[in-house]
Amino acid sequence: MSTAADAEVTAVLERYEPVVGLETHVELGTESKMFCGCATDFGADPNTQICPVCLGLPGALPVPNEKAIESTIRIGLMLHCSIAEVSRFSRKNYFYPDMPKNFQTSQYDDPLCADGYLDVVVDGESFRVDIERVHLEEDTGKTLHVGGSTGRIQGATYSLVDFNRAGIPLVEIVTRPIVGAGDKAPAVARAYATELREICRALGVSDVRMEQGSMRCDVNVSLNRPGEPWGTRTETKNVNSLRSIEQAVRGEIVRQAPLLDAGSRIHQETRHFHEDTGETTPGRSKEEATDYRYFPEPDLVPMAPDREWVARLRAELPEPPSARLARLQDEWGLTDKELASLVGAGALEPVLATIDAGAPHAAARKWWTGELARRANAAGVELERLAISPAQVAEVIGLVDSGRINDKLARQVVDGVLAGEGEPEQVMQARGLAVVSDAGAVGAAVDAAIAEHPDVAEKIRGGKLQAVGALVGAVMKATRGQADAGTARSLILERLGVG
* Distance from C-alpha of 257 to C-alpha of 261, rounded to nearest angstrom: 6
* Distance from C-alpha of 105 to C-alpha of 40, rounded to nearest angstrom: 17
* Distance from C-alpha of 437 to C-alpha of 484, rounded to nearest angstrom: 5
Question: How many Cα atoms within 13 Å fall on the side-chain side of residue 481?
Answer: 13
Identify the three-state secondary structure at position 194: helix
CB atoms closer than 10 angstroms to residue 416:
18
Residue closest to 366 by CA, chosen among 396, 403, 336: 396
Residue closest to 83 by CA, chosen among 92, 91, 74: 74
Q: Residues near 134 by Cβ (< 8 Å), separated by ≥ 6?
A: 72, 75, 76, 79, 81, 111, 112, 113, 114, 116, 171, 172, 173, 174
Identify the three-state secondary structure at position 124: coil
* Distance from C-alpha of 209 to C-alpha of 206, rounded to nearest angstrom: 8
N-terminal to C-terminal alpha carbon distance within the chain: 57
Residue closest to 55 by CA, chosen among 108, 98, 25: 98
pTM (two decimals): 0.79
Digits of tens for pLDDT over the chain (499 positions)? 456 667 788 888 889 999 999 999 999 999 999 999 999 998 899 999 999 999 999 999 999 999 999 999 999 999 999 999 999 999 999 888 888 888 999 999 999 999 999 999 888 899 999 999 999 999 999 988 888 766 677 778 888 999 999 999 999 999 999 999 999 999 999 999 999 999 999 999 999 988 888 999 999 999 999 999 999 999 999 898 888 999 999 999 999 999 999 999 999 999 988 877 878 888 777 666 568 889 999 999 999 999 999 999 999 999 999 899 999 999 999 988 888 888 878 888 899 999 999 999 999 999 999 999 999 888 888 888 889 999 999 999 998 888 778 888 888 889 999 999 999 989 888 887 776 555 655 666 666 777 777 777 777 776 777 777 777 677 677 666 666 666 667 666 767 667 6
Residue range 386-413, pLDDT digits in tens: 899 999 999 999 988 887 788 888 888 8
Rg over alpha carbons for the chain, rounded to the nearest Å, is 29
Q: Distances in Å between the alpha carbon of 125 and those of 78, 119, 128, 326, 337?
A: 21, 10, 10, 15, 16
* Distance from C-alpha of 189 to C-alpha of 245, rounded to nearest angstrom: 7
Residue 239 φ then ψ, to 5°: -80, 130
Q: What is the pLDDT of residue 1?
A: 44
Please report the DSSP string for 333-358 in residue order.
T--HHHHHHHHHTT-HHHHHHHHHTT
Which domains does the chain carry? 3-312 (no CATH), 319-431 (no CATH), 439-495 (1.10.10)
Residue closest to 209 by CA, chosen among 78, 346, 319, 106: 346
* Distance from C-alpha of 112 to C-alpha of 394, rounded to nearest angstrom: 42
Across the beta sheet with 113-122, the strand order is 82-83, 113-122, 125-138, 169-175, 17-27, 215-224, 234-239, 269-274, 279-285
Phi-psi region of 26 (alpha: psi -120 to 50; beta: other; left: phi over 0): beta
Q: Quick one: 207 exposed, middle or buried, by C-beta within 10 A (0-12, 13-18, 19+)?
A: middle
Residue range 48-103, pLDDT digits in tens: 999 999 999 999 999 999 999 999 999 999 999 999 999 999 999 988 888 888 89
Identify the three-state secondary structure at position 267: coil
Q: Residues near 280 by Cβ (< 8 Å), separated by ≥ 6?
A: 234, 236, 248, 251, 252, 255, 271, 272, 273, 274
List the alpha helices (DSSP H) in 13-125: 66-78
